[in-house]
Structure 1
Amino acid sequence: MTASTTVLPTATQATTQVLAQAAESSTASTFQFLYFGLHGRGELIRTLLTYGGAKYDELALDWPGMKKDTPFGVLPVLYETTSDGTVLELAESQAIEHYLARKFNLMGANSWENHLVDRYYTSMETLSNNFIKVMFAPLEKRQTEAEIFYRDHLPRWIAAHEHHLTKNGTNGHYVGDQFSLADLKTAMMIERIQFLVPKGMEEQVAALFSAEATPGLWKVKETVNAHPHIAEWKKSERHTQIDAGTKGFFKF
């Protein structure tokens, strides 16, 4: 991943059929990612691109000047240039995540496995939305919001997901023995909770996840982080910069 220019790519204007054919037949797509210098809604997209071994640049962000030229006036936006030169403009974080997951074979091998991946992913999205209340809480109310999250939301989520992961053999995956979007989303969610810790709650958060307390979830996190592409990304200077940007933005 390298830095790029501030000029937004121009999406190819063509019929849905033409664009779909370009996307599905592309063997060497490159990507340009437009997002802030923090994790947030860009975290899983960066992880998916990394997992898939995709070549991608991060576009230098001039948000006031670029906002009007994005599909919905919000970030993230991802641009894919296919092997035949077609430029596809992808918008909305969950839609981008599912698009990349299908491209990198992370949605299961059949319709039932696709459903399983989707339902675990959706459950994690619900938890993420609850944690966002902690992230955006005013500093004087953050600990109160965190207590609600740790007490009312997280235990139910942990119990349900440990149950499903145990049924699948506690093998580091949600569905069968293959990587899926659900695996990557869970690993990201655990790390987000462990990374953004309100002051004075470090010991409480440290006890939430472990090989002993949450063996299924811990195994998923370990398995995802052991993937060579992801392990390299986590050690990169850019990842360290994004860590710092995230803590600075949310004042953790």
Structure 2
Amino acid sequence: MAGATTYTVEYFSIDGLAWVIRALLTLAGEEYKNEFPDWPVYKEKTPFGRLPVLKETSADGSEFVLAERCAIELYLAEKYGFLPRDSKQKAVALQYYFQLVDVFDTLVMYIFHITTDVSKDRYLDRLRTFIQRHEPILAQSKSGYYCGDSLTLPDICLYFLYKSVFAAEDQSLNWFVTEQTPAIAKLVSMIEENTNIKKAFL
């Protein structure tokens, strides 16, 4: 739409750390452009020498540039209603979110950076503990979502963690969707049925 706010997501040509950002924009019904900078040539042009970077251009032509994955995700989640309005409920949602970020980061570290028995044990321990604590939380939800009766940021992150484990063909995949984790499996299935979520994948 002419004169509307537009977005550019700068990242590599993979889902990776930009997927949740793309998913939030997609679910919000916002158009955005993916740009895949020439790396590491483009590194010095980023705010902190890292990707992803979000560029938001307003109708008046002014540009807002934001770096760091979590900062971008929280900004978009707040802006488009993917976080509870109540301050205490929001704090609860954020604790789930940061736990998911922690598990995802240990997976990335193990798969792509430090592929050792130590890094694997750390990842598996984080994932095992996460599932043990979060399955009961989701089991108590009447809607199946983490917060209230609609999709929020931690739901989206849980789904992407599941997809990332699946993509890595990791042995821990069966921990997610089993008879022992029906609530987590239900949430994954609910999000999987959302046709818009699939548009966020490259």
State the TM-score, normalizing by the size of structure 2: 0.89
Q: Which runs of 5+ in 2 are unaligned?
A: none
Coordinate RMSD, CA, aligned? 2.1
Q: One-letter code of the match for 2:172?
A: V
1:39, CA displacement in angstroms? 2.2
SS in structure 1 at match of 2:33: strand
The answer as to 2:200 corresponding to 1:197 is no
Q: How does 1:1-252 map to 2 (within 5 A)?
A: 28-137=4-113, 141=116, 145-150=119-124, 152-169=125-142, 171-198=143-170, 204-210=171-177, 212-234=179-201, 239=202
AA aligned to 1:157 is F
The letter of the residue matching 1:164 is I
Question: Can you list the C-alpha shifts for 1:172-214, whole angstroms capped at 9, x where unaligned?
Answer: 310111111011011111111121125xxxxx43421215221
2:95 and 2:68 mapped to 1: Cα distance?
A: 19
Measured after TM superposition, the shift of residue 120 of structure 1 is 0.4
Structure 1 portions without partners, runs of 5+ = 1-26, 199-203, 240-252
Partner AA of 1:168 in structure 2: S
Please identify runs of 4+ aligned residues in structure 1 that moved more than 6 A.
Answer: none
Counterpart-to-counterpart distance in 2, 1:89 and 1:138: 31
Which structure has the bigger radius of gyration? 1
- 1:144 to partner: Cα distance: 6.5
Conserved in 1, the CA contact under 8 Å of 2:106 and 2:122?
no
Q: Distance in 2 between matches of 1:42 and 1:69?
A: 18
How far apart are the structure 1 equivalents of 2:120 and 2:167? Answer: 13
Local SS of the residue matching 2:196: helix
The structure-2 alpha-carbon separation of the partners of 1:105 and 1:138, relative to structure 1 and needing over 3 Å to count, comes to: closer
Structure 2 CA distance for partners of 1:138 and 1:73, relative to 1, 3 Å: closer
Between the aligned partners of 2:55 and 2:123, the Cα distance in structure 1 is: 35
TM-aligned CA deviation for residue 137 of structure 1: 4.5
TM-score computed with the length of structure 1 as normaliser: 0.72
How much identity, in percent, do the aligned residues show?
Answer: 31
